[in-house]
Structure 1
Amino acid sequence: MRAYPVDIFHGLLQGKSVIYAAGRLENGETFGLLDDRVPPCFYIRTSDASGLDALWQKHRAQRQSTDWTTMDGEPVQRLTLPTVRDLRLLEKDLDHRGIRTYEADLDYPQFYRIRTGIHGMVRLEGLWQPSRHVNRFYINPTMSAVEGSPDLRVLALDIETDAQASRLLGLSLVSWQLQSSQRTEEVLLIGPPRADDPPDTHALPDEKQLLQRFRERVLALDPDIITGWNVIDFDLTVLEKLSKKHGIEFNLGRTKEHSFGKQSQYFGKGRMVIRGRQVLDALQMVRHTLTNFEDLRLNTVAQELLGRGKTLAIEEWEDAAQKIEQAWRSDRPAFCQYVLEDSRLVRDILIRQGLLDLTLTRSVLTHLPLEKAWGSVAAFETLYMGALHQRGMVAPTRGIDGSEEEGGTGGLILNPVVGLHEHVLVFDFKSLYPSVMRTFNIDPVAFIQGMKEGEGITAPNGAVFAREPAILPGILHEFFQHRAAARERGQAAAAYSYKIIMNSFYGVLATDACRFADGQLADGITTLGQKLLLWMQTYFTKRGFQVLYGDTDSLFVAVPELSTMPLAERLALGQKLSQEANEALAQALWAEYQVDSHMELEFEEYFRYFFLPADRQGGGSRAKNYAGLQKDERSERLEIKGMEAVRSDWTPLARRLQRELLAMLFQRTPPAQMVTHIKAVIRAMQAGQLDDELVYRKRIRKPLEAYTRTTPPHIKAARLLPRTVRVVRYVMTSEGPQPLGFVKAPVDHEHYRIKQILPIVEGLAPFAGFRADEACSGHTALLFKDDYDEDHSL
């Protein structure tokens, strides 16, 4: 029977630590298993093992010789312990004696996953028996990895409480399966049944009975995944607290163990442990989409992705709990609709964005449980340690042999050539840092060996990497192949997962949170990346082209000869130039380093017009800021990066105006028409017709009372609100900044002309042929620059 282990955990059985797992079988039933064949263990160097017989006996440790070594080649011995507690105590004793340990800090289930290679779907073989909590229970079954995607059941949860979260009003449950259309929806609330209660609404007389019914429904729906918006830090935490208050067993899982929360000082890092299931916070998963949101409130994200939001209109400064409780008391249909829609929104966001499929795919690729699948450090360490074991090596315990220096060298930025340009080709190194690692054999073990022997491939910063084929390039090679295959099969989730995992490896190697990190190693990657970008700049310059800008892995190259070609030939030339550049780079890398190049410079896009703005002082350029008119065989579109039009700290009016002016600039609109448009916008604004577009939106990052030395406008506005908010929306008035809903003075339109419109116009006017100050004033004389040709050419 094929199966998916949803949760792998450990417990005690007859005084020994054993592994348990629970999950979903391919026939829809649930299963559990016990495995006592892989006891807890860790390693020490053989040179440190003698003379400690009393210590081994004290902690009941069994010492075994192995043919394994540390990463720097020292032989190790394995210490096997009866329980995880024994292991932790022995590790502590050894640490006090100054004896190095290896893999002693590993979570036992993580160690089990690494040792057995269990991740994703497995084939279960062996005898089983029925169990109270699962349909089938196996003891020491034979398991082998198989292909396939599990059809898991998901439950979205939302609760509503009073303002103190001390009293429950009601909750909603929305259940569905990943690979079928089966769905259920229901609302549980406190109060007597009413004739106007919506369908699937269950009224309970008091809080205790509602909590009991909630637990019954969770066990009956039997989800593999429980989710919701901030479901860990709020919904489930409140339900746990209230269940304890009423003496109700808070066990929502597939074992007899109580479910419990683990709080964290960091937002979004808490856990809710429900044995046999996984709790995934939808709010945290949304962080991994490609969409940038103004904030991560459910209503904001839902409006952006689904075009709908919460059913009760509540401003952030309003008392939301009071408004919801009022609906609960006097408008039951509205309350039921509100609480139910919150769970529906979570479901529809996850489905629309494919986030559960992404999380499942990433979990399989990284060998991590679903709840930890998005952790970059854990993913790297688990993959790398599995490969280390295949080579007979062990990893250091975190904090042992680590470098205290983090990588500090970033990507190279080539100074932009300010101005308006024509016929620009954009070239981009495909997966720059992963490709650098593959090409130059960059890897923790290769680094240790290279620096020890002083021979190998030397990076510009002096880091040396041994030439013997290393682990990390091998992992990346497989990932590149699997990603290409996934793209050919149309498996977007898998292809995207491979990409983001590979791209995270550099960051992991640059932070001391990873046991394999080293600052010099990480800087070796970035300095090689810089060298490659400079090499490409030189290559294109020698070909007679002008490199207008470069940033880490991208080059923007002006190719004047494109002006005489049809569009299809322009695009074909871009492909041809990238192919020739790759061939030349491969030859250069072999000549200098004797390595086979895995670098691939791709032709990414073609801009008919391309604009690089000056800084606001007019004395230099602005890195990571540009706009262009992108053209391909199917469409033409305006692309903007970094400029005010795509920044949330500028008003909607300024953002809109900049987009309009850029479009006019690229369409070669005569300057008189551009000025006419600017003046029309100013007149409409001054007439009060555009007040809806004059709203500033600023996030408040500190308590209001912490602003003492200076008081920015958004803080002044926030202090006028009756309640503290995370994001304040305000307008500038004749009496200063005032928040929406509390605007009492006239809007200061002159402020917006000077602080929002004028800076936008100033950035474009020199390249469009008119003067910004006069375009933004009421004067028309001396408006146009003398050096602008009548035919409006550059």
Structure 2
Amino acid sequence: MQYQEGFLISRHSRDIGDTTELVLWVQTVTGPAKLVITGEKPVFFVASADADSVQQSLSSSGLSFQCKPLGLSDFSHRAISGVYFNTISAATRASRILQAEGFDPFEADVRLSDRYLMERFICGGLTFSGTASQRNGFVEYRNVKTKASEYSTSLSRVSLDIECSEKGVLYSIGFDSEMDSRVIIVGPTPDNADEMPWIDWVENELALLKALNTWFDRFDPDVVVGWSVVDFDFRLLMKRAAFNNIELRLGRGREKAHWRDSNNSRQGFITLPGRVVIDGIDALKTATYSFRSWSLESVSRTMFGEGKAIDNPYDRMDSINRMFRDDKPALAKYNLQDCVLVNRIFSETHLMEFLIQRSRLTGIELDRIGGSVAAFTNLYMPRLHRAGYVAPTLTSENWIASPGGYVMDSKPGLYGSVLVLDFKSLYPSIIRTFLIDPLGLIEGLKSEDESTTVPGFRGGIFHREKHFLPAMIENLWKARDEAKRQGEKAFSQAIKIIMNSFYGVLGSSGCRFFDHRLASSITMRGHEIMKLTRELIENQGYEVIYGDTDSTFVSLGREFSNEEADEVGQALVVHINRWWDKHLSDEYQIPSSLEIEYETHYQKFLMPTIRGQDTGSKKRYAGLVDKHGERHIVYKGLETVRTDWTPLAQEFQQTLYQRVFDGEDIEDYVRQMVEDTLRGHNNDKLIYRKRLRRKLSDYEKNVPPHVRAARKADAVNEKLGRAKQYQHCGWIEYVITLNGPEPLEALESQYDYQHYVDKQLKPIADGILPFIGKSFDALSMPQLGLF
């Protein structure tokens, strides 16, 4: 049998009769392949001391299994036995029986497909062999053997979007891909159809769904993307297919699509065998992107300066209905535009490359949302087994919180020349340096020879030799440095997110490896490092005005040129890194992986006070960077970068800070802004936009302004016979009027301009004007007297 390489697209496991079937879909240089693996035995582990009682319980339940001792231990150093089953259902039933009787079946929650892949260290790429059979559009392999490979490939992608009536009746389906871009729409074929070859015309909704099946069978994409594509597009497609009594056969080989609702039924899951469906919003969040709004309109306008042709939900529905009735080509164009925008977002952000590299690094599925815990488990668990241990059971009992990152009390003021020094990947470098590791903790606590361990915090002790995580991070670190040198941004970003997630995983009660001694030994060591670093800087004659997790803000005491500031920053970096190298070698006999870097020189820097107090704020500041002829202000935690402040406040802050930093007159500007607001000249900037995080009916005692506005909006919707928009979460745009908050789409009252002066302009001004000896009240009061 010849071996060949492939990249894993999807994995599924199920019972077939009295055995298991594992199906891996992969993409190869010759096309898609289906790997069918049978006979893999589900397994969990129990303490050998409990083995007789376990076997008695399972035998009396009529289950078929095999229990045998293994050369493994749990984290309490008890001998372990493996319990093997022929089917997934039997293993699941057995674990429930044992848990009900007070036993602890270790690793019972690990899916068969995940265990198969992780124990072979398969992460994305794999080499395989088997008996091949040609099928319709792919090759099926049986008697399969697999092993890990570095193979990677690009995947074909289609962006899908549907248009429908307010009642969910399908109008059209759009596709955009390198293979084919078109819209299939319900309606009679017009006389000039040959002028629009990208539109297919079908008779009715049933024919539309049949055409959908045909499109997937013909063009055979690896990946389907879209905007809310799972919980809107596919959810509705599955409902309409059921209504029309047709099966959606959108998987490879015309296999059926499968829909599953989550336990809370507010999120669904779609399975297309041989393909993967990726929602653009979830993928961007996983890649740590952030936008003021996650609507396709907003993200598109932020990235490209263009968006959807119609975005108001009422205008959109009315327009879609009108176009479907009177101008179907216009609706088709609108449908296709959404598909194109999603593909542009994926291309611009390299999202598919990011997800592929994440899978190559961790082995988790391409469509996995978040996935930090799963990634850590995939990487760590097989190594743990080879070290002679089984992983502990996930539990939230006896959970002890660990301290968060170090945040220093700030010194408020308006400064000239502030340097920012950052520790490069502080928490991963602490793990590397101080050998923090789940196995290292267990072995360290067992060791009676202090020379073999490194002390942590809260009773944590870590073995100098027996550990995995420090080496895992070191390898990722080297890979990221190489990716940066090669300009591979998606690969570098994937590595950064994975490395930085390791601390969060170890500090999360949702991770089976959680132990407060692990997380505390990271964060409390971080506190120690930041405090000692502050002392090192101040001993050099400079003032530290703020510190946050891994960043230290250093005031130079006067304004420096960029060249002078760079010289000071680099000298501090050399001094600090050398000190830590020597200190750790002398104190712990360990090499240092800590590395502080000179990050930024702010020529002007504001550290504000907590609103209404004299105390310095935390995680809130602004600084002016002027480098290579480009000037810009960086805002952290201030109103400009917060979505719950109005455009009025954000524009006011940006202009006011720029004028203060540049030494320009601000008095006339402040007075004019107040006057324009009171005269109604800034109405388009007075819109609040806030998220409804719960159902409207869940807000009972405390009803905030945006909820009151949403209730008014839906009362108007009901009165006009329109669908309610805000009952189940979502975003609401509203303004404050003389009669309280009112939704933008149902505005009835006059604006409360004084509210915006008092609650939007004044807090912004009070954050900076006192540092230059001025007062918003004094500047605005003469103008207020005119009205």
Relative to the length of structure 2, the TM-score reads 0.91
Is 1:651 paired with 2:654?
A: no
CA distance in structure 2 between the aligned counterparts of 1:229 and 1:641, rounded to whole angstroms: 29
1:448: which partner in 2? 442
Q: Of 500, 514, 529, which residue of structure 1 is paired with 2:511?
A: 514
More deviation, 75-84/487-496: 75-84
2:575: which partner in 1? 580
Is 1:477 paired with 2:474?
A: yes
1:500: which partner in 2? 497
CA distance in structure 2 between the aligned counterparts of 1:584 and 1:162, rounded to whole angstroms: 68
Q: Of 18, 21, 24, which residue of structure 2 is paired with 1:21?
A: 24
Q: Of 415, 435, 439, which residue of structure 1 is paired with 2:409?
A: 415
CA shift digits 1:343-368 (9 cap, x unpaired): 11211111111111111111111111
1:186: which partner in 2? 182
CA distance in structure 2 between the aligned counterparts of 1:268 and 1:527, rounded to whole angstroms: 39
- 1:394 is displaced (CA, Å) by 1.9
Q: Secondary structure at the match of 1:8?
A: strand
Is 1:674 paired with 2:666?
A: yes
CA shift digits 1:156-175 (9 cap, x unpaired): 2112222232x222211222
Change (3 A) 1:631 1:461: farther
CA distance in structure 2 between the aligned counterparts of 1:268 and 1:517, rounded to whole angstroms: 29
Spell out the pairing of 1:698-709 with structure 2 (5 A cutoff): 698-709=690-701
CA shift digits 1:481-502 (9 cap, x unpaired): 1111111111111111111111
Is 1:542 paired with 2:560?
A: no
CA distance in structure 2 between the aligned counterparts of 1:559 and 1:397, rounded to whole angstroms: 52
Spell out the pairing of 1:287-366 with structure 2 (5 A cutoff): 287-311=285-309, 313-316=310-313, 318=314, 320-366=316-362
State percent identity of aligned pairs. Answer: 31
- 1:291 is displaced (CA, Å) by 4.1
- 1:601 is displaced (CA, Å) by 1.2
2:191: which partner in 1? 195
CA distance in structure 1 between the aligned counterparts of 2:369 and 2:116, rounded to whole angstroms: 16
1:534 maps to amino acid: K
2:381: which partner in 1? 385
Is 1:49 paired with 2:45?
A: no
Change (3 A) 1:391 1:306: same
Report how many aligned residue pairs link the two structures: 763
The answer on whether the counterparts of 1:32 and 1:137 sit within 8 Å (CA) in structure 2 is: yes
More deviation, 624-633/479-488: 624-633
- 1:113 is displaced (CA, Å) by 0.7
1:718: which partner in 2? 710
CA distance in structure 2 between the aligned counterparts of 1:89 and 1:701, rounded to whole angstroms: 37
- 1:639 is displaced (CA, Å) by 0.9
1:24 maps to amino acid: Q
The answer on whether the counterparts of 1:226 and 1:280 sit within 8 Å (CA) in structure 2 is: yes
Is 1:558 paired with 2:562?
A: no
Q: Secondary structure at the match of 1:539?
A: helix
Change (3 A) 1:706 1:18: closer
- 1:228 is displaced (CA, Å) by 1.4
Q: Of 160, 171, 174, which residue of structure 1 is paired with 2:173?
A: 171
Q: Of 32, 35, 42, which residue of structure 1 is paired with 2:34?
A: 32
Change (3 A) 1:282 1:778: same
1:560 maps to amino acid: G
1:80: which partner in 2? 84
Is 1:619 paired with 2:619?
A: no
- 1:127 is displaced (CA, Å) by 4.0
The answer on whether the counterparts of 2:55 and 2:67 sit within 8 Å (CA) in structure 1 is: no
Spell out the pairing of 1:250-269 with structure 2 (5 A cutoff): 250-254=248-252, 257-265=255-263
Change (3 A) 1:561 1:327: closer
More deviation, 320-329/525-534: 320-329
Q: Secondary structure at the match of 1:116?
A: coil
Change (3 A) 1:749 1:638: same
- 1:767 is displaced (CA, Å) by 1.5
CA distance in structure 1 between the aligned counterparts of 2:533 and 2:138, rounded to whole angstroms: 61
Is 1:630 paired with 2:625?
A: yes
The answer on whether the counterparts of 1:191 and 1:206 sit within 8 Å (CA) in structure 2 is: yes
The answer on whether the counterparts of 1:39 and 1:81 sit within 8 Å (CA) in structure 2 is: yes
1:663: which partner in 2? 658
- 1:154 is displaced (CA, Å) by 1.3
1:363 maps to amino acid: S
The answer on whether the counterparts of 1:714 and 1:737 sit within 8 Å (CA) in structure 2 is: yes
The answer on whether the counterparts of 1:69 and 1:393 sit within 8 Å (CA) in structure 2 is: yes
1:791: which partner in 2? none
CA shift digits 1:431-484 (9 cap, x unpaired): 111111111111112223334557533334333323334111121111111111
1:449 maps to amino acid: E
Q: Of 513, 521, 524, which residue of structure 2 is paired with 1:524?
A: 521
Q: Secondary structure at the match of 1:624?
A: coil
Change (3 A) 1:188 1:357: same
1:557 maps to amino acid: V
Q: Secondary structure at the match of 1:287?
A: helix
CA distance in structure 1 between the aligned counterparts of 2:638 and 2:311, rounded to whole angstroms: 32
Is 1:768 paired with 2:760?
A: no
CA shift digits 1:214-252 (9 cap, x unpaired): 111112111111221111112112222222232212221
CA distance in structure 2 between the aligned counterparts of 1:406 and 1:219, rounded to whole angstroms: 53
The answer on whether the counterparts of 2:562 and 2:601 sit within 8 Å (CA) in structure 1 is: no
The answer on whether the counterparts of 1:733 and 1:747 sit within 8 Å (CA) in structure 2 is: yes
Q: Secondary structure at the match of 2:782?
A: coil
Q: Secondary structure at the match of 1:4?
A: strand
CA distance in structure 2 between the aligned counterparts of 1:268 and 1:471, rounded to whole angstroms: 39
Is 1:641 paired with 2:648?
A: no
CA distance in structure 2 between the aligned counterparts of 1:587 and 1:423, rounded to whole angstroms: 30
The answer on whether the counterparts of 1:366 and 1:373 sit within 8 Å (CA) in structure 2 is: no
1:211: which partner in 2? 209
CA distance in structure 2 between the aligned counterparts of 1:352 and 1:267, rounded to whole angstroms: 33
Q: Secondary structure at the match of 1:605?
A: strand
- 1:55 is displaced (CA, Å) by 5.8
Q: Secondary structure at the match of 2:72?
A: strand
Q: Secondary structure at the match of 1:86?
A: helix
Change (3 A) 1:150 1:448: same
More deviation, 194-203/467-476: 194-203
- 1:744 is displaced (CA, Å) by 4.2
The answer on whether the counterparts of 2:131 and 2:143 sit within 8 Å (CA) in structure 1 is: no
2:329 maps to amino acid: P
Q: Of 385, 394, 398, which residue of structure 2 is paired with 1:398?
A: 394
Q: Secondary structure at the match of 2:712?
A: coil
2:23 maps to amino acid: Y
Question: Cα RMSD over matched residues?
Answer: 2.5
Q: Secondary structure at the match of 2:733?
A: strand
Q: Of 581, 604, 607, which residue of structure 2 is paired with 1:609?
A: 604
1:751 maps to amino acid: H
Is 1:468 paired with 2:471?
A: no
Change (3 A) 1:731 1:12: closer
1:431: which partner in 2? 425
CA shift digits 1:755-776 (9 cap, x unpaired): 2222222222221232321112
Q: Secondary structure at the match of 1:461?
A: coil
2:722: which partner in 1? none
2:676: which partner in 1? 684
1:138: which partner in 2? 141
Change (3 A) 1:48 1:702: closer
Spell out the pairing of 1:110-125 with structure 2 (5 A cutoff): 110-125=114-129
- 1:37 is displaced (CA, Å) by 6.3
Q: Of 737, 741, 748, which residue of structure 2 is paired with 1:737?
A: 741
- 1:595 is displaced (CA, Å) by 2.5
